[in-house]
A = this chain, B = another copy of it.
Amino acid sequence: MLAGEDLNTPVSAAMHRGTLPAGKRVRPILLILAARDLGHDSAALIDLGCAIEMVHAGSLIVDDLPCMDDASLRRGQPTIHRRFGEDVAILATVGLLARAFATVASLEPVDSGVRARLVSCLPEAVGTQGLVRGQYEDLHEGLRARSASAITTTNELKTGVLFSATLHMAGLIAGASEAQQHNLHRFAIELGHSFQLLDDLTDGEPDTGKDANKDLGKSTLVGLLGAEAARQQLVGHLTRADAWLTRVYGADGQVSRYIRSLFAAALPAPQQSSRAYFHDGGIR
């Protein structure tokens, strides 16, 4: 999707570097697995996955800016504004969003009715009811004391909406029923909470590829509840996520296995509270 870019311009180079290195590609993989398990497979999945990843990469560049989190490291590398300058970082973000929307708009070969619905998914996830609002709340409310429910709402906007758009797109392209779409949406929300908690729990660890202790002073669920209670919450979200998946795919879908392996690798050795999820195959 970025192949047409002239890498000699700093903005294009920044777009590449923001998108291409060493990410886990969770959203594109989820999209592809979720659609395949519903019986759909086509080259359009790759294009859609790239579009989602470009939106995600753009949101990370914004997140790291001096006037936002002022981060110096991301994925073990200097952040985009540190490497290319703030102006280039902002223009690269705009370029990535535009390229993502253009990619979905020119998606082939997809029925035009489906494509029209796909085209709305990304801007809705990005806008003032999605990433933009989550980023604002995180920045402006994050330094105050907040209730667990206020933190949860912000996390949903910051992380949940793009997962939700990802699964919605998978459902749309695969022709999912309304009930399946509902269950995928609920799965996406639980998954968003899981990732946000994982991010909070690993803040301060040396090998995250990000600035250590970036969240110090911010009100997070880990700060509010303590690490062990947050970990239990995480496992609760994962278990519920799994239950929603089961309603769509039965007991042995690829999405479920992928998520399980991802969190097993990222979390420290499971304790009693998470045995049911990690070792007994989740609550079915």
Contact = CB atoms under 8 A, between A and B. Distances in A.
A244 interface: no
Q: By CB atoms of chain B within 10 A, which of A88, A95, A113 has the most? A: A95
For chain A, which range describes its interface: under 10, 10 to 19, 20 to 34, or 35 or more residues?
A: 35 or more
Interface in A34-74: 62, 65, 67-68
A127 B139 contact: no
A207 interface: no
A147 interface: no
A126 B10 contact: no
A11 B124 contact: no
A113 B116 contact: no
Contact of A91 (B9, B10, B116, B136): B136
B95 A128 contact: yes
A123 B105 contact: yes
A116 B120 CA distance: 12
Which secondary structure dominates where chain A touches chain B?
A: helix
Contacts of A135: 91
Contact of A90 (B10, B65, B105, B119): B65
A128 B5 contact: yes
A135 to B, nearest CB: 6
A215 interface: no
A189 interface: no
Contacts of A67: 85-87, 90
A139 B12 CA distance: 16
A217 to B, nearest CB: 17
A95 B127 contact: yes
A160 to B, nearest CB: 17
29 contacts: A5-B128, A6-B128, A9-B128, A9-B133, A10-B136, A11-B136, A12-B128, A15-B128, A62-B94, A67-B87, A67-B90, A68-B90, A94-B94, A94-B126, A94-B127, A94-B131, A95-B126, A95-B127, A97-B97, A98-B126, A98-B132, A99-B127, A101-B123, A102-B124, A102-B127, A105-B116, A105-B120, A105-B123, A112-B113
Interface of A: 5-6, 9-12, 15, 62, 65, 67-68, 85-88, 90-91, 93-95, 97-99, 101-102, 105-106, 112-113, 115-116, 119-120, 122-124, 126-128, 130-133, 135-136, 139-140
